[in-house]
Structure 1
Amino acid sequence: MPLDTTPLNSLGLAKKPSETRVVVAMSGGVDSSVVAARLAEEGYDVVGVTLQLYDHGAALAKKGACCAGRDIHDARRVAETMGFPHYVLDYENTFREAVIDEFADSYLAGATPVPCIRCNERVKFRDLLETARDLDADCMATGHYIQRQAGPHGAELHRAADPRRDQSYFLFSTTQEQLDFLRFPLGHLESKAETRALAERYGLSVADKPDSQDICFVPNGDYASVIEKLRPGAADPGEIVHADGRVLGRHEGVLHYTIGQRRGLGIGGLAEPLYVVKLDVPERRVIVGPKEMLATRRVPVAEINWLGDAPFTSRAEWHLAVKVRSTRPPREAVIRPLSDTEAEVELVTPEEGVSPGQACVFYDPDSTRIFGGGWIRRS
C-alpha cells in the first residue's frame, strides 16, 4: 500500500486546504474574524458559526460583549466579505443552564466563579465542537490566544507567544480529545497589533472594534445586580464581623462581597485596614480581618483536567507552577494527587485572596506548556 505523501497543511492535516473543512467559532470580534478570513484566503473550506447565547443580544447584553446582537451582525458581514457560509445557532437555553445559572448559584454560595471557563468547557468546546463534527469538519478553529503544539505523545497546550494576550487560564479544562480537534491560529502572534493589521489587510469592518471586556452577560461588571435579577430576594442583609468576633456593621447581602475585597465595606473609621477574609453564607455574615489572614499556602482542587503525558496519579507529587487567579503569574507549587480529579496544591510562597470558585491552572515551570488544572474548593 503506497504511503500518503501529501504534505501537512497549515492546520497540520495531510490534506489540501480546499479539501479541508474548518468550522470557525466566530464571536463577532476582530480575533475570530481574522482567523476565519485568513483561513478563507488560504483556500480552506471555511464555515463560520456564531452562537446566540442570551436574549438575542438584548436583556443582559452590553456593548462590547461577545455573542450579542451587534456581534452576530458583524460576524455575518465578515463572512459575506470573505465569501464563506455563516450560521447562527440558538444556544440561549444551553448557555443559561450550563453557565449563567451556575454562576448565580456559586456566587450566592460565597464563591467567586469564572463563567468564561465554563462557557468554553460546556458550550464552545463541547456542544459547538460536536456541531462542527456533525458538519463533517476536519477541525474547529477559534480566535483564542493560546498555542497547540505537536508533542511526542500527541497535541500539547502551550501559552500564547504574547504573554499580555495569553488565555491559557481560561482554557485549562480543554480535554485531550478536544485539543486533537481544535486549532488556534493566532497563538503564535507577538501582539494584538498584528491581528488588527491583518483585519485591515482583509478589509474587515471589525478591524478597529474594541475588545470585549469582563463577563459578556454582566453589564459594567456589576455582578450583584445581575444576580438579583436572576435570583430575586437573594440579597438578604446580615452582619459584618471581625475575625475576632466583634460585630462591626451591617451589609445588604453577602453577594456584594468577594474574598480579598477592601474597598466599599461600609465600616469606615477603623484604625487598621480590613479585608474580606471569609463569606459565611449560611449565617449571612461577612468576615473581615487584617491582610495577613488572606495568605493561603494549601489549596484544595477538584474537577481536575490533566494534560500531562503520564497519568496524574502516577506520581505522589508534581513540582509545577500554578496560577490561582487570571491576573497573577504562575508561582512555584507542589501538587499532590488525591485521585484522578482531586489534589492538594501547596504553594511554595503563600498567595493572598485565594477564593473558592476560581481556577488553579498547572504550568510547566521550564517551558510554555500547560498541564491542565482544576477548580479551587473550600478548605
Structure 2
Amino acid sequence: MSGGVDSSVAAYLLLEQGRHCAGATMRLYRNEDIGLPRFHSCCAQQDIEDAAEVAFQLDIPHRVLDLTAEFREQVIQRFVQGYERGDTPNPCIDCNRYLKFDRLLHIARQEGLVYLATGHYARIVYDRSTGRYLLKKAADTHKDQSYVLYRMTQEQLAHTQFPLGELQKEQVRALAERLGFVNARKHDSQDICFVPDGDYAHFLEQYTGIRYPDGDLLDQAGRTVGRHHGAVRYTLGQRRGLGLAMGAPVYVCGKCMRCNTVTVGPESALYARGLLAEDMNWIIDPPSVPFRVQAKIRYRQAEQWATVTAASETWARLEFDTPQRAVTPGQSAVLYRGDLVLGGGTIREAISL
C-alpha cells in the first residue's frame, strides 16, 4: 500500500473477493537521504499515513517496512552510477525489480501469505499450453504500466496479483470516492520519488558531494563550440539549456564521460536503426531465431515494429523498421506482441544509420 488511490482500491477489491489481506508500506528513504532537512514535511511520510488510514478503514493490519538500506543500495546507488557513466537510468524499474517484487514478496512469503498484490495497471494470466505465466497490458491503455514490470520472473508472476488490471482509472477513483478514502483525489506520482523537484543533477551533487566539472561542448567534427556545466546534466536529444547560437537548432547527440565532453549536432544525428540490449529478461520462452516484435524504448512511447535477434540469453539486437530518435543507453527496450509482454532489457548501445 503506497498511500495512493490505486493500491487502496486494490486492497478493497481483494477483501470483496473474500481474501485475507494485510497491508504493507515500504519506507524507502528519509529526508536526509534526499537532501531535505529532517524537520521538513516529506511526501513519503504523508504516503505512509494515508496508507495506514485506509488500512484502518478497511480493518486490515498494516505494517511499515523499513527498506531504506536496500533502496539506497539497489535503486539510488544504481541511479547515481548510471548517470556517472553516461546512462539515463529508470529507477522505477529497479525498484520493482529489487524491492517490490523481490524483497517485499519474500517478506510476504515468510509471513505465510500466498500473493503480493499491488495497484499496478497490468494483467497476469496463466497459459496452460506452455505452463508459463504471462504479463499483459492493462485494460486501461492510458494507464498501462507493463513497461516497468517487464523484469518479473515466473516465480514472481505466479505469486503476484494486479486487481486493477481490468479497470479504468476513472472507475478506481469513483470507487475510492464512494468508499470515502482519504486519497480518492490524490494526484498520481509523476516524478522520481527521491527527486521530488525533478532536478536530478542537483540531487546527484547533493548525494555524492561531487561538483561535476564543466567541460567542452563539441560539434560532430570534434571542434569545441562551447562549454557545458557537468556532463551528467545533459541527456540524449536535449535541446534547451545548451547556450549555443549555431545558426540552426542543435541537440545533444553523444557524451564521453571519460573525456568530460558533450557532443551536439542536428536532429538527424539522433536517429538510429537499431540497438543492442543487455541483461535481457524473457517472459516467454527465449526465442532461438529472429522474430517480429513491437518495441518501446521509453515509457511514454508508442510501440515500434522491429526484428529482434537473441544474441545470447542476456543480449539481444533490435532492428527497427523505421529509424528511432534518441535511443538512450540506460533506458529499457520492452518487447510486445499485441498486449503481451515478451520481455526486455537495458539499452546499451544504439546502432547508427
Give me the TM-score of the superposition, normalised by structure 1.
0.88
Q: Which residue of 1 aligns with 2:324?
A: 351
1:197 is aligned to 2:158: no
1:272 is aligned to 2:248: yes
Give the drift of 1:69.
Answer: 0.4
Give the drift of 1:251.
Answer: 1.2
1:97-116 pair list within 5 angstroms: 97-116=73-92
Give the drift of 1:192.
Answer: 1.2
Letter in 2 for 1:373: G
1:138 is aligned to 2:138: no
Q: Which residue of 1 aligns with 2:184?
A: 207
1:186 is aligned to 2:164: yes
In 2, distance between residues paired with 1:56 and 1:69?
Answer: 9
Aligned match for 1:46, one of 21, 24, 27: 21
Conserved 8 A contact 1:108-1:234: no
In 2, distance between residues paired with 1:46 and 1:38?
Answer: 10
1:368 is aligned to 2:329: no
Q: Which residue of 2 aligns with 1:9?
A: none
Give the drift of 1:287.
Answer: 0.3
1:1-379 pair list within 5 angstroms: 26-55=1-30, 59-60=34-35, 68-152=44-128, 153=130, 154-189=132-167, 191-267=168-244, 269-308=245-284, 310-312=285-287, 315-364=288-337, 367-378=338-349
Conserved 8 A contact 1:99-1:115: yes
In 2, distance between residues paired with 1:234 and 1:38?
Answer: 49
Give the drift of 1:59.
Answer: 4.3
Give the drift of 1:370.
Answer: 0.4
Structure 2, unaligned runs of 5 or more: none
Letter in 2 for 1:311: P
Conserved 8 A contact 2:34-2:195: no
Give the drift of 1:173.
Answer: 0.5
Letter in 2 for 1:93: A
Conserved 8 A contact 1:60-1:218: no
Give the drift of 1:42.
Answer: 3.1
> Secondary structure at the residue paired with 1:157?
strand
Give the drift of 1:137.
Answer: 0.8
Letter in 2 for 1:370: V
Spell out, residue by residue over 1:38-77, the C-alpha distance to the aligned partner (whole angstroms, 9 max, x if none).
Answer: 2223331100000000016984579896xx1000000000
Give the drift of 1:214.
Answer: 1.1
List structure 1 runs of 4+ shifted beyond 3 angstroms: 56-65
Conserved 8 A contact 2:304-2:320: yes
The range that moved more, 53-62 or 326-335, is 53-62
Conserved 8 A contact 1:160-1:166: yes
In 2, distance between residues paired with 1:233 and 1:294?
Answer: 30
Conserved 8 A contact 1:28-1:75: yes
Q: 1:162 to 1:58 in 2, by over 3 A?
A: same
> Secondary structure at the residue paired with 2:22?
strand
Letter in 2 for 1:186: L
In 1, distance between residues paired with 2:161 and 2:207?
Answer: 35
Conserved 8 A contact 2:26-2:65: yes
In 1, distance between residues paired with 2:32 and 2:47?
Answer: 9
Conserved 8 A contact 1:240-1:285: yes
> Secondary structure at the residue paired with 1:74?
helix
> Secondary structure at the residue paired with 2:254?
strand
Conserved 8 A contact 2:292-2:306: yes
Conserved 8 A contact 2:216-2:227: yes
Q: 1:151 to 1:101 in 2, by over 3 A?
A: same
Conserved 8 A contact 1:361-1:373: yes
In 1, distance between residues paired with 2:319 and 2:136?
Answer: 23
Structure 1, unaligned runs of 5 or more: 1-25
The range that moved more, 40-49 or 275-284, is 40-49
Q: Note the aligned Cα RMSD (angstroms).
A: 1.6
